[in-house]
Amino acid sequence: MKLLLHMCCAPCTVYPARVLKEEGIEFEGLFHNPNIHPFEEFTRRRENLEILAGINGLTVNYIDDFDQAGWEGFRGEGEERCRMCYSRRLEKAAQFASQEGFGAFTTTLLVSPYQKHDVIREIGENMAKKYGVGFYYRDFRPGFRKGQQLAREMGLYRQKYCGCIISLRDKQDKDKAKEMDKVREREKDKDKERSRDEDK
Ligand code: SF4
């Protein structure tokens, strides 16, 4: 049985691809991630997957779709948005697996402790039923750190946010809040310094 491995990005692919190879499981990859925004980020993650595929001799299929407007215009929030996001990607993976004669599919999203693991599993299983293929569920998370370390050693780009424009804005807001905290701390220190000087 040949497996289709949906690949969300290069660093998250390192560990699952490695264990599948070690276990002699025949597989091909699929890059289909319309959730990666903005476009420069999309191309950067795609290019890094090509680099990894070159290093590790992986066969990867690319179905390019970039849809920032789809995420910006989506009305749901939080988990609802992530469900839409997983569904779009895993539906394409299930459809492709079915059309191309793969016995089952899985996803590198299952390696990340930052993703909604149980939701991914549920959606993967539902899409598998819909398209008449298997969903190869596997908890790859124990290998997450190892995979990230190997990705660093290979010089692969490791992103700092999940992917969509909303997750980028959330990250930027958090970074700004941290910077503001630092500025406030520095101001407090200066005030203390000044009052010490005045007491002398
Ligand atoms: S946070 Fe991540 S999983 Fe959720 S919608 Fe954005 S890209 Fe998709």
Give the count of beta carbons closer than 10 Å to the beta carbon of residue 111: 26
Distance (angstroms) between ligand 1 centre and the Cα of 185 equals: 33
Whose CA is closest to atom 2 on ligand 1?
162
* Ligand 1 closest atom vs CA 162: 2
Tell me the pairing of strands 134-135 and 104-107: parallel
Question: Does domain 3-163 bear CATH number 3.40.50.620?
Answer: yes
Sheet of 27-31, strands arranged across = 60-62, 27-31, 3-6, 104-107, 134-135
- Report pLDDT digits (tens) over 38-93: 999 999 999 999 999 999 999 999 999 999 999 999 999 999 999 999 999 999 99
What interface predicted TM-score (ipTM) does this complex get?
Answer: 0.98
Q: Where exactly are the structural domains of the chain?
A: 3-163
CA distance 131 to 63: 18
pLDDT(200) > 80: no
What's residue 197's pLDDT?
85
Q: What tens digit of pLDDT does each residue of 140-185 get? A: 999 999 999 999 999 999 999 999 999 999 999 999 999 999 999 9
**Beta strands 104-107; 60-62: pairing state:** unpaired
